[in-house]
Amino acid sequence: MIKKCLKAFYIGLILLLLYAPILLLAVYSFNSVNTIGTWGSFSFTHYIKLFTDEAILEMIGNTVVLAVSAAILSTILGTAGAMGIYYSRKKAKTLMNGANQIPIINAEIVTALALAITFVAVGLEKSFFTLLMGHMVICTPFVVLSVMPKLKQMDNSLYEAALDLGASPAKALFKVVLPQIVPGIVSGFMLAITLSLDDYIITSYTKPSTFNTISTYVYNATTKGNAHTAVTLSSFWALTTIIFVIILAVVLFANITGLKNKKKEAHE
């Protein structure tokens, strides 16, 4: 009995530590006052502000456009890369696999600085393009990593079987090989979106000064003594809450459909 209680207490403590800060934010996002600690009354003020402030809306739009385009491009690049590596000879394979690990292990600040210097060196002015490149640099290796295991799981003779049945190499790739690795591609894409969405370091080093994503905006708002800091910040509580709810929904959906599929398979 005591053991059971301790177990429950332990789990509860961990969950509390993990989620209390977010919950706190969520609660205060419905506060009518702009300071944490004093409760005015329940209101949607912050939410209304969030959806009316053009600067905030633009910055959210920027973040989403950047994340989606970086994820799409890195998924294409990473998938092609994984296939290239997979079908290479052994030496080239090890070499490229190693090269793929470096951006992952490397400290992000080093990658960011290196990118910034390179852009200056080749005379590229900071623009959406350089920012996009920066995000692709951090996303692509993860796509490669998530596609690779699916390729390894695939029966090698499937591609040959497709050729044997008269498919051209391109058709064999799209009709037979790709369908086998779709789960890896999807998880790579999701990973890329998440990485791009919350990246600050690479973004701040490669973005043009007038361009802001959520992370750079929040950072600027919290560090520099801006006039409307307090007001803006409070609308971020609302934004954070929305993001959290969306993620919660996505995770729940993924888990439930996953469970259903498993049940279906078991039935068959």
Partner 1 sequence: MSENASNCIIELKDVVKSFDDTLVIDHVSLSVRKGEFVTLLGPSGCGKTTTLRMIAGFDLPTSGQILLNGKDISLLPPNKRPVNTVFQRYALFPHLNVFDNIAFGLRMKRVVNTYRNPKGEEYTRTEKLTKAEIAAKVKKALEMVDLEGFEKREISTLSGGQQQRVAIARAIVNEPEILLLDEPLGALDLKMRKEMQIELKAMHRRLGITFIYVTHDQEEALTMSDTVVVMADGVVQQIGTPTDVYNEPANTFVADFIGESNIFSGTVTGKRKVRFCGKTFDCVDDFEKNEMVDVVVRPEDIVMCEPELGMLKGKVISVVFKGIHYEITVQVGRYEVVIQSTERREVGETIGMNIPAQEIHIMKRKYTSNIYDGVITKRNTVEFADGEFECDVTQLYPGSHLDEEEYLVTAQGEKIDLTGTEVTVEVGLEDISISDDAEAGGAQGHIISIIYKGDHYRVIVRTDESEEDFVFATDDLWNENDYVSVIIPKDKIKLTLKHTEEKAA
Q: Is 263 an interacting residue with respect to partner 1 (CB under 8 A)?
A: no
Shortest distance, CB of residue 192 to partner 1, whole angstroms? 24
Q: How many CA atoms lie within 13 A of 27 on its CB side?
A: 11
* Binding flags for partner 1, 117-156, as an x/- string (CB under 8 A): --------------------------------------x-
What minimum distance in Å lies between the beta carbon of 187 and partner 1? Answer: 17
Measured distance CA(189)–CA(182) in Å, rounded = 10
Is the Cβ of residue 170 or residue 227 nearer to partner 1 in the bound state? 170
Enumerate residues 6+ apart whose C-beta is below 8 A from 138. 103, 108, 111, 195, 196, 199, 202
Contact 151, 82 (CB under 8 A): yes
Residue 41 zone, left/alpha/beta (φ > 0; ψ -120 to 50; rest) = beta
In angstroms, the CA 135 to CA 74 distance is: 9
Judged by CB, which is closer to partner 1: 91, or 224?
91
Q: Which is nearer to partner 1, 175 or 228 (CB)?
A: 175
Nearer residue to partner 1 within complex by CB, 125 or 155: 155
Is 268 among the residues that bind partner 1 (CB under 8 A)?
yes
Cα 86 from Cα 159, distance rounded (Å)? 13
Q: Between 12 and 179, whose beta carbon lies closer to partner 1?
A: 179
Alpha carbon 149 to its chain's center? 20
Task: Report the site for partner 1 in 152-181 (rule: CB under 8 A).
Answer: 155, 157-158, 160-169, 171-172, 175-176, 179-180
Q: What residue ranges bind partner 1 (CB under 8 A)?
A: 155, 157-158, 160-169, 171-172, 175-176, 179-180, 268
